[in-house]
Amino acid sequence: MKITFPHMGNTYIAVKGLLEDLGNEVVLAPRCSKKTLELGTKYSPESICLPLKINIGNYIEAIEKGADTVLITGSCGPCRFGFYHIMEQYLLNDFGYDVRIIAFDPPDGKPMVLFNRIAEAMNTSNPYKIIRSGKKAYEILCEADALTDLANKKRPIAINRYEIDMIVEEFYRDIEYTHGVQEILQLIKNTRVRLEEIAIDTERKPIKVGIIGEIYTIIEPFVNLEVEKKLGYLGAEVEKSLTPSDWARHHIFSFPFGSKEEKSKWEAARPYLSTLVGGHGRETIGSAVQYAQAGFDGLIQIFPLTCMPEIVAESILPTIQRDYDIPILTLVVDEMTGEAGYLTRLEAFIDLLKKRREDKNYEGMLLRS
């Protein structure tokens, strides 16, 4: 079995380590690119949300490298993600790709069905081995997300911002040549040391922007047109409301109760949205409230065109913007999104936030004098 999986931010790094540690042959899909998008768009229904198109592109590129099995998680609730693996299986077979998809679906009262699928994908039915490797993979996920976070925090204050991108780029390139958990963790550690050594300007006080919205668009840099990098270059410190490690903490390591962090978002969202609307619509609202309360300068919601849960959240965000006096920009992405227009909107938004910061500082000065 030659196994592959879609790109979803840093998730692939952890899954690669996990499967390799258990003795599987992993075929890594090339990082998402224009080619991935073109393939996905060509072989997917036009109106389906963008993540499925990119998934299909990833699979085809991995199949061309020899993959014969695809691993993906499932979902439940009112959102298309729950049907992804079924649609993807049909699409790939329809277009002549002889590949099998193994989906880790919620157990729905049949835990053995899920366990058998996990055992098949992991190449072992020894629960001890699976749990031990799963914990190590979670460690990779947390460390990789912390690395991304460190880069995002340092970029706006680094004396030479290009150094950050160079180190991050080298990291993602070198990941492809590592094997197993230990090598990956060592590479993360080395990269962290290099990032920490980058000189910063302690005088700079970057504005703070929270990224909210649909999880895939938040975590996959190709899909959000590297929004973190662009914002960093514009002088903004970015914090993402969702990361792959948050997802794993909530859905796997705190199962069946859910993580404290995600539940606190539901609580914060309650005055505006008290029910599940699918995807992370409720978390988008909760995160917006929490970021506003924490004094962030502005928020950016990103989601794929036709994403139902985020359309619901988008309709509520103007109320939060008014109640907390915090600017919120919404960006909708699909295969037609042009980089120039996207960047112009980000620049205008950051200019607005900087002006508001200046005005507030000036008012503060007047009050003190």
Q: Could you say which of 61, 145, 214, 283 contacts ligand SF4 (CB under 6 A)?
A: 214
The answer to the question of residue 136 lying near ligand SF4 (CB under 6 A) is no
List Cβ neighbours of 5 (8 Å cut-off, separation of 6 or more): 11, 12, 15, 29, 70, 71, 72
The answer to the question of residue 51 lying near ligand SF4 (CB under 6 A) is yes
Backbone angles phi, psi at 208, to 5 degrees: -110, 125
Q: What is the rounded CA–CA span in Å between residue 312 and residue 296?
A: 23
Sign of CA dihedral 312, 295, 345, 247: negative
Quote the least distance from Cβ 349 to ligand SF4, whole Å: 22
Position with the least CB separation from ligand SF4: 279
Sign of CA dihedral 179, 182, 185, 189: negative
The answer to the question of residue 91 lying near ligand SF4 (CB under 6 A) is no
Site for ligand SF4 in 92-111 (CB under 6 A): none
Position 88, amino acid: E
The answer to the question of residue 296 lying near ligand SF4 (CB under 6 A) is no
DSSP string, 152-199: HHHGGGBSSHHHHHHHHHHHHHHHTT--HHHHHHHHHHHHHHHHHTS-
**Candidate segments 76-84, 108-116, 164-172, 226-234, binder of ligand SF4 by CB under 6 A:** 76-84
**Candidate segments 21-29, 155-163, 302-310, 332-340, binder of ligand SF4 by CB under 6 A:** 302-310
Quote the least distance from Cβ 120 to ligand SF4, whole Å: 25
Backbone angles phi, psi at 301, to 5 degrees: -95, 130
**Candidate segments 6-14, 177-185, 305-313, 321-329, binder of ligand SF4 by CB under 6 A:** 305-313
The answer to the question of residue 279 lying near ligand SF4 (CB under 6 A) is yes
Quote the least distance from Cβ 49 to ligand SF4, whole Å: 3
**Candidate segments 34-42, 74-82, 90-98, 239-247, binder of ligand SF4 by CB under 6 A:** 74-82
State both tokens at 113: 């069905």
Q: What is the rounded CA–CA span in Å between residue 203 and residue 274?
A: 42
Positions in the binding site for ligand SF4 (CB under 6 A)? 49, 51, 79-81, 214, 216, 279, 304, 307-309
